[in-house]
Amino acid sequence: MKKVAVIHTTPVTIPALKKEILAACGQVEVINLLDDSMLPQINQAGKITPGVRCRLHMLMLLAQSAGADIILCACSSIGGIFEEGRAVLSIPALRIDEPMAERAVAFTKIGVAATLQSTIGPTTELIARKAAELSREIAIDAKLIENVGSLLAEGKEAEYDRIVGSALKSLAQNNDVVVLAQASMARAAAGFDEEERRHFLTSPVSGVAALAAELQRD
């Protein structure tokens, strides 16, 4: 049985992603590695710190030593240094948000929504890089939805969905597509009707689809 290691920076993403992976990949073992100190440290410092970089790369090596066949990074904030860490691995390592970014650059006006400041930069940089690879001219409209980051941890799911959902709909009015920069935000768009959901890109589904495709190649 294949073993998938998922690196998380918040416990919020663990149950939903495991369910998504098992549904898409069938008979696989999912192991979760969590360090919830990374995001607070990044947001406090305003940048990726040497300590965060070191801990992430150690987690990647730990996942490999645990027998993982592939690693999935569930956090966009650390996506850039996750890519750096691939150099120390002998197994595939995927960013959950990369397939989403590749889909986004098919559009011209791209909204990017996040609830954490630390996620805005890495996500917009990834989208800009994917556009440059295709020589595409795009406009990125980034919006930080403030003061909602703790609501899910506090069990206030309905309040989170209402605030984030309202901000997402507002951003969609001025853009061709809206990228949800954090996997945990997907729940806020789940309640939209089918027509509304067409305007939003979320990382869990496309990221896990890429994971399943990589597993099938082995």
Of all helices (H) and strands (E), which one includes residue 53? helix 50-65
Enumerate the β-bridge partners of residue 3. 29
Tens of each residue's pLDDT in the chain, 218 residues: 999 999 999 998 899 899 999 999 989 999 999 999 999 999 899 899 999 999 999 999 999 999 999 999 999 999 999 999 999 999 999 999 999 999 999 999 999 999 988 889 999 999 999 999 999 999 999 999 988 878 887 888 889 999 999 999 999 999 999 999 987 788 888 888 888 888 999 899 899 999 999 998 86
- Separation CA 68–CA 74 (nearest Å): 15
- Return the closest-CA partner of residue 127 out of 90, 154, 97, 160: 97
pLDDT of residue 205: 87
pLDDT of residue 218: 64
- Return the closest-CA partner of residue 33 out of 16, 54, 11: 11
100 is written with which tokens?
């989403």
- Separation CA 164–CA 143 (nearest Å): 11
For a pLDDT cut of 70, what percent of the chain falls above it? Answer: 100
Give 137's DSSP letter: -
Whole-model pTM? 0.88
Contact 134, 165 (CB under 8 A): no
pLDDT of residue 168: 94
